């Protein structure tokens, strides 16, 4: 499958896949692919896992999630992590719909269960790119702190929930799982 035949051609145009990818491995990933919409499974099978748009968004291997159930109350144990952003926000497939977790506020948004709308439209529109993906701040973070590795995110220190702010002067580059777990423990306290 190439960019022109992916069900997410608009996403690929907006956020080209990086060259460095983790391949889809049926032995590791098929049990997860069976639980997500077929378009997601096809994307995984064709493009594997890794960065899109220079690291603004990441399709994460479902067997290595950033979110841990014990850290976030909304997770019921059935969710499959689909995507995370450069700032640690996460999209999960759970209960037949897409859930979007903002790790800085703890708010969970619900999106329709239609992958072409979520990844072919919502993810690509200007307001979502600016306000949810924080694309302008991403460009500043990348210039200031360098590119992200597969297990890293840009975060804020102190966490916004502890008096920090979602602002350039608070930017850090850190381990994705540790940052998301810390945010979960602070927000659920």
Give tens-digit pLDDT for 13-41. Answer: 999 999 899 999 999 999 999 999 999 99
Model confidence at 189, in pLDDT bands (50, 70, 90)? low
| Residue boundaries of the structural domains of the chain | 9-134
For residue 121, CA distances in Å to 99, 118, 128, 150, 166 come to 16, 6, 10, 25, 25
Query: DSSP label at 163?
Result: T
Contact (Cβ atoms closer than 8 angstroms) between residue 57 and residue 84:
yes
The per-residue pLDDT for 69 is 86
The per-residue pLDDT for 2 is 46
Burial class (CB in 10 A: 0-12, 13-18, 19+), 96: exposed
Q: Scan for tokens 């952003």, then name that residue.
A: 85
- In terms of Cα–Cα distance, which of 62, 67, 78, 66 is closest to 22? 62
The per-residue pLDDT for 67 is 92
Stretch 146-162: mean pLDDT, rounded? 95
* Angle, CA 184 vertex, CA 29 and CA 73 arms, to 5°: 75
Is residue 164's pLDDT more than 80? yes
The per-residue pLDDT for 81 is 97
Model confidence at 181, in pLDDT bands (50, 70, 90)? very high
Between these two residues, 2 and 124, which has the higher pLDDT value? 124
Q: What's the CA gap between 41 and 32, in Å, rounded? A: 8
Model confidence at 1, in pLDDT bands (50, 70, 90)? very low
Is residue 173's pLDDT more than 60? yes
pTM, to two decimals? 0.93
Is residue 6's pLDDT more than 90? no
Average pLDDT of the chain, as a whole number: 93
Is residue 5's pLDDT more than 70? no
Model confidence at 133, in pLDDT bands (50, 70, 90)? very high
Q: What's the CA gap between 187 and 9, in Å, rounded? A: 36
Residue 51: in which H helix or E strand, if any? Answer: strand 49-52
């Amino acid at each position: 499958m190439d960019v022109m035949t992916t069900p997410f051609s608009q996403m690929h145009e907006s956020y080209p896949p990086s060259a460095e990818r983790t391949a889809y491995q049926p032995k590791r990933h098929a049990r997860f692919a069976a639980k997500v919409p077929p378009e997601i499974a096809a994307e995984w099978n064709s493009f594997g896992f890794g960065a899109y748009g220079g690291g603004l968004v990441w399709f994460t291997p479902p067997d290595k999630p950033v979110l841990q159930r014990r850290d976030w109350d909304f997770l019921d144990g059935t969710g499959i992590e689909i995507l995370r952003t450069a700032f640690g926000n996460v999209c999960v497939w759970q209960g037949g719909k897409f859930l979007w977790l903002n790790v800085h506020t703890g708010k969970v948004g619900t999106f329709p269960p239609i992958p072409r709308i979520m990844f072919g439209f919502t993810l690509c529109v200007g307001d979502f790119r600016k306000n949810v993906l924080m694309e302008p701040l991403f460009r500043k973070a990348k210039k200031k702190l360098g590119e992200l590795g597969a297990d890293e995110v840009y975060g804020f220190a102190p966490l916004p929930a502890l008096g920090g702010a979602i602002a350039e002067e608070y930017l850090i580059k850190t381990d994705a799982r540790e940052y998301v777990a810390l945010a979960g423990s602070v927000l659920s306290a």
